[in-house]
Amino acid sequence: MTAGRNPYLWLQTIGGGTGDQIDPVNIPADRIAMARGAIDMALKAGEDGALIPQRLGVRLRATAERRRLLLTLLGRDGAPLVTIAVAPRDRDGAKLWPMMAKAAADQGQSMSFARPREPWAVVLAYTSVMQFAGTGDVAWLPMIEAELACAWLEMIRDD
C-alpha cells in the first residue's frame, strides 16, 4: 500500500447522521469474495443489473469509470433501494461528490456533512427500502453496503 494512504473506509449515509470508519480487514474474506463476485457480475450485466447471492431477489447495477464506482441495489419490484458511490482516491471523490449531492437533492435530501477524506463510500437511500421492513431482518443492507465498498477497494488494489 502507498505510504500515507488512508487504510480505512469512511462509510456515510446521506441524512444518516454520523458515518462509520471501517477497517476492511474486519470484514470476513468470504463476504468480500461474494461482494467482488456480485460487482463483477453487475458490471458485466449492464443496465439490467445482476441478482446478488447475498439476498434473494435483490439486483445490483454497477457502473465503473476509472477507479470510481457507482452501485445501485434494486428491490424485487425493480425499485432502487440505495445508491452507493465509492471514491478510492481524492480525484475520484472530487468527481463523485457533486454527483451524489445532485442525486440527493433530486430526492429532496441534502448532504449534511462535509466531504470525507478518501477512500469513502456515500449511500443514498430511497423510500423503497421500506419493502423490507416486514422481514424482521434489517441489518443486511448496511452490511452489504460496507462489503461492496470494501470489495471494490480490494478489486482496484489488485488491478
Residues that bind other proteins in the complex, under the rule CB under 8 A: 13-18, 82, 107-109, 123, 125, 127, 129-130, 132-134, 136, 138-139, 141-142
For other proteins, the closer of residues 70 and 129 by Cβ is: 129
Which three cell numbers, joined as nine digits, stand for 97?
461528490
SS3 content of the chain, % helix, strand, coil (to 5): 45, 25, 35
Distances from the Cα of 28 to the Cα of 25, 54, 90, 143, angstroms: 7, 14, 27, 11
Least distance to other proteins from the beta carbon of 116, Å? 16
Nearer to other proteins, 13 or 72 (CB): 13
- Least Å from the CB of residue 82 to other proteins: 7
CA distance 71 to 42: 9
- Distance CA(72)–CA(128), nearest Å, equals 12
Nearer to other proteins, 8 or 126 (CB): 126
Q: What is the CA radius of gyration of the chain?
A: 15
Residue 42 beta carbon to other proteins: minimum distance, rounded to whole angstroms: 21
Nearer to other proteins, 15 or 37 (CB): 15
Minimum Å gap between C-beta 104 and other proteins is 9
Minimum distance from residue 11 beta carbon to other proteins (Å): 11
- Name the residue nearer to other proteins (CB basis): 21 or 127: 127
Sheet holding 80-87, edge to edge: 20-22, 9-13, 120-125, 80-87, 68-74, 59-65, 50-51
